[in-house]
Homo-oligomer: A and B are copies of this chain.
């Protein structure tokens, strides 16, 4: 198979973890006789430095032409500490998601038995955790109009959802549930929000077309608790953009490190694969970021294009690194292995 892959490293540790992912993709290409070509492009603060915009035209062009995108991470302390800046790195990512129509962000949370000791939660509780969060990614309060009064004293964000935006991701989520354990949990705040009530109505109506899937609805405050107390209860979780952002980061608590969770962002025409974690500015350039979330994102990419065996080979190599304790310090405090060493090890074991 031939694939043109755009590499958007972004800020912080993004470019570093992406380097390791490309190593793994290359190992897959060699082992399974595929041809992957890559084009790098700037996004976020990195792009702002050079082009004064977080999403330069040439980046968008490369993204639109690629078969798939690998994304790193975005954001720097400089902008985090300067909330008044009119141009911000994250706008690059948000616009990119919108331009590519990546409305479904899928975040699998699966416990790896090899590192279960690393979870801060009771082992009996988290053992066997295996759920996927379907987060709506191009709507809601992320994309509604934003206003600041002229005197700068009143700010407004608008959250809007349409039936269409809800049903297209809901269909994807129901279909996924059908192929898994047939349980779908809708997370919302329908006791307070009008948009949540629309979600609940649309999803309930749709569920009639998926009689084999059991639908349950949870309020976000309760879901945030149940996810941690009873993670094996969940199969597919469906939720909006903002709730999905928070809930999915909690998944990393269950499996023991923010450096582990991959994600796939899917639209009608395009697809992008990115770690759930942030840009971790403190670790930038220190060769200590965990590349696994990004590497597992390549496994999602391969799976998305039907390369099942290839995807499994990447996951198997990651698990071998866990078994041999070839891991970054977030997984094992005493570990002396760096980002590149771990990436090399995983890439080297893909053809095992």
Q: Which residues of A contact B (CB under 8 A)?
A: 75, 79-81, 83-84, 88-90, 94, 120-122, 125, 141-142, 144, 146-148, 152-164, 189-198, 200-201, 204, 217, 219-222, 224-225, 228-229, 242, 245-246, 248-250, 252-253, 258, 278
Contact = CB atoms under 8 A, between A and B. Distances in A.
A147 B160 CA distance: 9
B228 A228 contact: yes
A158 B221 CA distance: 20
A192 B90 contact: yes
Contacts of A156: 144, 158-160, 194-195
A172 to B, nearest CB: 19
A221 B190 CA distance: 21
A220 B250 CA distance: 11
Nearest to A89: B191
A90 B191 contact: yes
B160 A159 contact: no
Nearest to A140: B157
Contacts of A252: 225
A159 B157 contact: yes
A84, A122, A246, A253, most chain B CB atoms within 10 A: A246
